[in-house]
Structure 1
Amino acid sequence: MATVKKTKEKKEKKLTKDDLISLYMDQVLEREEFPGTVYRFCKDHDLKEEDFYQFFGSFSALEKGIWELFFEHTMNMLQKSKEYEAYSNREKMLTFYFTFFELLSVNRSYVLFALKRHKAPLKNMEQLKGLRKQVKGFARDLIRDANESKQVKLLKQSEMIFAEGAWIQMLFLLKFWMDDNSPRFESTDVAIEKSVNTVFEIFDNTPLERVLDFGKFLWKEKMA
């Protein structure tokens, strides 16, 4: 009976995607460098290479997966809230950003290290490709719901433009959070609230293309 129990416990400790990501993030922070090869990484953690490849095809894919997991955890937390579904689009967007950046703050050491890996900012953005798709999808769903309640076609907003604007806003807030030295990152909370409220206040009165242009300007200024 003891042998059966041990076998069962061993099976229950099967490697998961979250486990692999945790091992990777911990190693990066502990050694202050990114792993060179999958072979060495797996050997360091007593894993087989096939254990790694069942989840990711490369370190690059894993790094993108970290950001996608941040998004997925954020959405899971929102969907567990009974009040969330009754929120307005503005409240949903605010709650999303607050929750997402709270999660980033818990993992701030890794996030800052990863986003400052290369001297060229655009190269650091490569890891955000999956997140970009997720954030734009989230924004499209919000605007689609809003458009369904508008009977006049001229009052409906472009899902594509709104989604792109949401991504630019995310990048602006991400850079703001990276530079934020305030206690508990309170300045970032203020920036989130002001930026979301401003966008929704001008949303029905200003062509979204102009909002998008303004967002690009802010992002360029912040990056400079």
Structure 2
Amino acid sequence: MEKISLNGVEMYPFASEDELLEFVKEKKGILVAINAEKILHATDQTRTIINRNIGYCDGAGAMFALHKKGYPKACKIPGCELWLKIVAKWHKTHTFYLVGGQKSVIEATVVKLREEFPGINIIGYRDGYINSSDDKESLISDIAMKKPDVVFVAMGSPKQELLMEEIQQRHNAIFQGLGGSFDVYTGRVERATQWWIDHNLEFAYRLIKQPSRIKRQIHLLKYLWWLETNKL
């Protein structure tokens, strides 16, 4: 499958979650969620990080751009849902390691996963507050020793991707960056209801709930202009 470039940001036009899962099963690597903001605000550093890994369409803006590029079957695969699909598919056969969030959040995440997915083998976890090189080396060494099949890192971009790349140098696995997904999963942050998600209006729901986001989302008008004028 070929990558498609949008403002120099390369991603795969997966037509379904199953297609993505089959791809990453055969080709382990780092899954990086791509949305309109990441495409619009791409820098040389973020493009390089994304392009050497497995970029996938996380938002409606990226999906519509792929459609205009001639990939009408490309679909939106929200990262906050994808990681749970990975767990559901492989929790009986794969081992997992989780990094990110506050101590209370990661602990609550592990408890909930063990309740919802009986038999899941979580062989390690820790919070996302890695404050020294010793902390980081301890984490990477632990992962390299335990050799999990799947590693989830929830620390925000590009920090989580840079950490996953360091881990990958010592241990190859399926990696996914999750941003704030542990907070959503444990109910500390409310996600949009299904109607908003189904109508590709999750960004509007977030804006209603948090009006201060207007400073970020106003830039989406530029993205819409690029989309309509084929500048992507």
- Same fold, TM-score > 0.5, yes or no: no
> Which TM-score applies when normalising by structure 2?
0.27
Greater helix content: 1
* Larger-Rg structure: 1
Taking structure 1 as the reference length, what is the TM-score of the superposition?
A: 0.28
Structure with the bigger percentage of strand? 2
* More RCO (CA 8 Å, sep 6+): 2
